Amino acid sequence: MAILNIVKEGDPVLRKICRPVTEITPRTLQLLDDMKETLHKADGCGLAAPQVGVLRRIALVEVEKGKLYELINPEIIAREGTQNEMEGCLSIPGEWGITERPEKVTVRAMNRNGEMYEVSGEGLMARALCHELDHLDGVLYKDKAIHMLTKEEIDEQLED
Q: If we measure between CA atoms, which residue out of 91, 34, 40 comes closest to residue 62?
A: 40
* The listed CATH number (1.25.40.10, 3.30.420.10, 3.90.45.10, 1.10.287.610) that belongs to domain 12-159: 3.90.45.10
pTM: 0.95
Domain positions in the chain are 12-159
Q: Is pLDDT above 70 for 80?
A: yes
**What pLDDT is recorded for position 154?**
83
Where are the strands (E) in the chain, listed by range?
46-48, 58-61, 69-80, 83-87, 97-101, 104-110, 116-122, 145-148
- What is d(CA 142, CA 146) in angstroms, rounded to the nearest whole number? 8
Where are the strands (E) in 21-138, listed by range?
46-48, 58-61, 69-80, 83-87, 97-101, 104-110, 116-122
**What pLDDT is recorded for position 141?**
98
Residues annotated as catalytic (active site), given as ranges: 132
Over residues 24-36, the mean pLDDT reads 98
pLDDT level of residue 160 (50, 70, 90 thresholds) = low
Tell me, what amino acid is at 68? L
Four-CA torsion 38, 40, 46, 48, nearest 10 degrees: 10
